[in-house]
Every structure is written in C-alpha cells, then in structure tokens.
C-alpha cells in the first residue's frame, strides 16, 4: 500500500522562481505526496495562478501573518489530513527520491 503523505512548506517572502522550482522538484518525486500545504507568513507575493494551476499537485494555501517558521510548520501540520507529514523549507530542492527514502 502506498502511504499518503502531506508536505508542509512555510514561506515568507520568496520570489515566484524559488517556489516554482521547489514545486517542480516535488512533482518529480518518485513517491508522490497526497497534499502540499503552503503556509504564507507575509502577504502573498507569488502569483497564485502560477502555483495553484498545477494539475499534478493538490496544493492548499493558508495565510498566517507574522508566524516564525516553526509556528508556520506547526500550523501546517495541524491542517494536514495524513498521518505522515514531511517538511520542506522554501529554499530546499529535494532529490527525486527524497520522499521515497
């Protein structure tokens, strides 16, 4: 049975390019996550159309003003629907086998 996994990503003020590169890495994982939870801690600068139009990822976005990264991760973990939760920093670019490993 394939495990259902949620990925929580806190973002603060990252440019579109960084977030899109991270999502591209997630799309190419050998084991796919069931949901991606992005917790924005500052006003959302990234083009929502670019991020949320992904056909291969289920992305949920939450805005929680002025949370530190740990608080944003905890908030995202509480929103996750799966028992297995993986965390990524917005500047991380995981290898394709990251979730599988």
**Residue 59 near residue 36 (C-beta atoms within 8 A):** yes
Q: Mean pLDDT in each 10-residue stretch from start to end of the chain (101 residues)?
A: 92 83 93 93 63 76 87 96 95 94 90
The three-state secondary structure class of 11 is strand
The three-state secondary structure class of 86 is strand
Q: How many residues does the chain have?
A: 101
pTM reported for the whole predicted model: 0.88
pLDDT digits (tens, 9 = 90+) for 37-59: 999 887 655 555 666 666 678 89
* Beta-sheet strand order (sheet of 35-40): 59-63, 35-40, 5-11, 84-87
**DSSP code, position 22:** H
- How confident is the model at residue 43, as a pLDDT? 64
Q: Where are the beta strands (DSSP E) in 3-77?
A: 5-11, 35-40, 59-63
């Amino acid at each position: 049975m394939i495990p259902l996994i949620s990925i929580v990503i806190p973002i603060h003020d990252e440019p579109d390019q960084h977030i899109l590169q991270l999502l591209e890495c997630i799309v190419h994982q050998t084991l796919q996550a069931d949901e991606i939870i992005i917790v924005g801690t500052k006003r959302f600068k990234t083009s929502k159309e670019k991020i949320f139009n992904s056909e291969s990822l289920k992305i949920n976005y939450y805005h929680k003003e002025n949370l530190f990264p740990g608080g944003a991760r905890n908030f995202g973990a509480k929103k996750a629907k799966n028992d297995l939760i993986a965390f990524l920093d917005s500047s991380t670019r995981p290898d394709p086998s990251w979730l599988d490993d």
